[in-house]
Chains A and B, each alone.
Chain A
Amino acid sequence: MSILVYIEHAEGKVKKTSLEAVSFAHALAAQTGEGDVVAVALGTIAEEELAAVGSAGASKVMHAADSKLDEGVIQAHASALAQAYKQVGAKTLVLAKSSLGDAVAARLAVKVGAGLASNVVELPKTDSGYTVKRSIYTGKAFAFSTITTDDKILAIKKNAIDLKTDGEAAQVEQFEAALSESDFASIITSTERATGDVLLPEADIVVSGGRGLKGPENWGMVEDMAKILGAATACSKPVSDLEWRPHHEHVGQTGIKVAPSLYIAIGISGAIQHLAGVNSSKCIVVINKDPDAPFFKAADYGIVGDAFEVVPKLNEALKAEL
């Protein structure tokens, strides 16, 4: 029996979060003796990209190269995945928690009658029963949940597991999914994607600005820092509400949840709703002129000072050191 992994890609590039899911599945297979890891990739993806899936721990990739699957049509992806699941005879499906992953996993859980646990942060305990550790309350707590069904779907929280990079090349197999017209009943008319920059949900370093930056014209120094660090930019909710920055940069309870190695917050007060989206970061740096800003309680390092003074100097220091 194999563990199946759903692979997501953006314009043919396999997402890091999906490679994490493969790594998770590989470690899980080793733990439970469940066999090998088979990845399912849907849409146009280059051969060399599929090889990366091998290095993360998959021994086989089932590739449905139908270009109609390039975009994430939710029902079509769920149908194709259910067929792969049955064909392989898998009992476990692993995927990355994401906007498409969630939507697809939910439909699949019904199709195959699987118990579905989301936001999984550790390998399950399988000695007595099957218990997963999940992040809940937007990162403010964890739950240990027992899955009682034979079929299981685990949606893995990003950055929860170390990437495996030394696996062997995966064998790529063509996979024909029988898809009906109704699978494509909804039409994606266009896609707008931030290009060139580091994508926020997957970034390893995030530089974030709040209302303390006073206006969109002052974001130059934030972007400079992001460029120096190879980071993604983010913002607090009022900043996107005021349209100083695009909506997809807003992090927090009602925004994107990030879990980078380094999160740098500039002119952000650290309201509990903001912290909820960033508290899984490994290291938090706060720059704020108010020494009593709540963010300092959540931070590892801090500078009390005016951002307009500190950030340009910090950019110089970073440039000199890196």
Chain B
Amino acid sequence: MKILVCITHVPDTTSKIQFTSDNTKFDTTGVQYIIGPYDDYALARAVELRDQTSGKLTVLNVGEAETEPTLRKALAIGADEAIRVNAAPQDSMYVAKQIAHYAKEGAYDLILMGRESIDFNGGMVHGMVGELLGIPSFSPVMKLDIDGGKAKMAREIEGGKELLEADLPLVAGCQEPIAEWKIPNMRGIMSARTKPLNVVEAIAQETQVEAVKYELPPAKGAVKLVDKDNVSELVNLLKNEAKVL
């Protein structure tokens, strides 16, 4: 089975989010970049499925040269080869068109990615790729088993889940508990250095949705503490001050 996992290169989940002084760009000072946490779930499940079927696992990222350490990490976790589509990601459709283009060339049985990136939280790329390729797409997928060309999945719905079946090929946006995150071991890190990381050029595609300015939410005021022996004061505050009861 040929599996493609698309990963994002995003600020670490503990990053303090800041913008440059004119608020037009993300300030990367001191920011550590990681594989998107949802993509990590997709990758972990893909490694397991590849191992079960002795297939091939390719990871892909649409990004500029600075994302290569993130791709190397995915190789260390277990991917066989990596593709970097050499372009700054513009918007969801831009990224989806690049992925669909290279996915079509590679004729993958399964295309996995995280349910959303943790920077723009769009949750749209998997659906767009599915539509562009004319194959089904599912998200957020929390369970995925392959049985003879058929996928059995559980998809999260608000307050529950749906169990689904579909034929391959398909696209899935993944989330926990589809698999446990995998941490690269020494052997993985060593072998990642020699695995192929191919840089390919982006196809032409216009930006449809362009972020022009950023803003931080207003700073939070100090917490109002209530004595633990006077809990009715809290009820009073919630009712009469915050007016949320």
**Which residues of A are at the interface with B, using a C-beta cutoff of 8 A?**
10, 15, 71-72, 74-75, 78, 97-100, 102-107, 109-111, 114-119, 131, 133-149, 185-194, 197, 199-202, 205, 229, 241, 247-248, 253-254, 261-262, 272-273, 276, 279, 282-283, 285-286, 296-306, 309-310, 313-314, 317-318, 320-322
Q: Are A188 and B234 in contact (CB under 8 A)?
A: no
* Shortest distance between the CB of B214 and any CB in chain A (Å): 5
Please pick, from B116, B136, B206, B226, the residue contacting A303 in the complex, using a CB distance under 8 A: B226
29 A-B pairs in the complex with CB atoms less than 8 angstroms apart: A97-B123, A102-B122, A102-B123, A103-B137, A103-B138, A106-B125, A106-B128, A115-B208, A116-B124, A136-B121, A140-B217, A141-B19, A141-B214, A141-B215, A143-B213, A149-B208, A191-B162, A200-B159, A248-B160, A253-B13, A262-B242, A279-B217, A298-B220, A299-B223, A301-B224, A301-B234, A302-B224, A303-B228, A303-B231
* Shortest distance between the CB of A260 and any CB in chain B (Å): 9
Q: Are A192 and B161 in contact (CB under 8 A)?
A: yes
* Shortest distance between the CB of B92 and any CB in chain A (Å): 6
Q: Are B121 and A313 in contact (CB under 8 A)?
A: no
Q: Are A115 and B209 in contact (CB under 8 A)?
A: yes
Q: Are B122 and A118 in contact (CB under 8 A)?
A: yes
The secondary-structure label for the interface of chain A is: mixed
Q: Are B120 and A143 in contact (CB under 8 A)?
A: yes
Q: How many of B's residues come within 8 Å of A, CB to CB?
A: 81
Residues of chain A within 8 A of B138, CB atoms compared: 74, 103, 186
Residues of chain B within 8 A of A254, CB atoms compared: 37-38, 175-176
Q: Does B88 contact A (CB under 8 A)?
A: no
Please pick, from A241, A301, A318, the residue contacting B223 in the complex, using a CB distance under 8 A: A301
Q: Does B183 contact A (CB under 8 A)?
A: no
Q: Are B131 and A111 in contact (CB under 8 A)?
A: yes
Residues of chain A within 8 A of B170, CB atoms compared: 186
A300-B121 contact in complex given A107-B137, A187-B166, C-beta closer than 8 Å: no
For the A-B complex with A102-B124, A309-B228 known, give 16 more contacts whose Cβ atoms are closer than 8 Å: A74-B137, A103-B139, A105-B124, A110-B93, A110-B96, A115-B91, A116-B122, A133-B215, A143-B211, A146-B209, A148-B207, A148-B209, A148-B210, A296-B225, A301-B224, A301-B237
CA distance A188 to B213 in the complex (A): 41
A202-B158 contact in complex given A102-B127, A106-B137, A148-B207, C-beta closer than 8 Å: yes
Please pick, from B13, B130, B212, B225, the residue contacting A107 in the complex, using a CB distance under 8 A: B130
Q: Are A106 and B126 in contact (CB under 8 A)?
A: yes
Q: Are B208 and A102 in contact (CB under 8 A)?
A: no
Residues of chain B within 8 A of A138, CB atoms compared: 118, 121
* Shortest distance between the CB of A160 and any CB in chain B (Å): 13
Residues of chain B within 8 A of A99, CB atoms compared: 139-140, 155-158
Q: Are B164 and A141 in contact (CB under 8 A)?
A: no
Residues of chain A within 8 A of B207, CB atoms compared: 148
Among B131, B157, B212, B213: residue with most chain A CB under 10 A: B157
Q: Are A189 and B164 in contact (CB under 8 A)?
A: yes
Please pick, from B128, B234, B244, the residue contacting A109 in the complex, using a CB distance under 8 A: B128
Residues of chain B within 8 A of A110, CB atoms compared: 93, 96, 128, 131-132
Q: Are B239 and A137 in contact (CB under 8 A)?
A: no
Q: Are B234 and A314 in contact (CB under 8 A)?
A: yes
* Shortest distance between the CB of B178 and any CB in chain A (Å): 11
CA distance A133 to B156 in the complex (A): 27
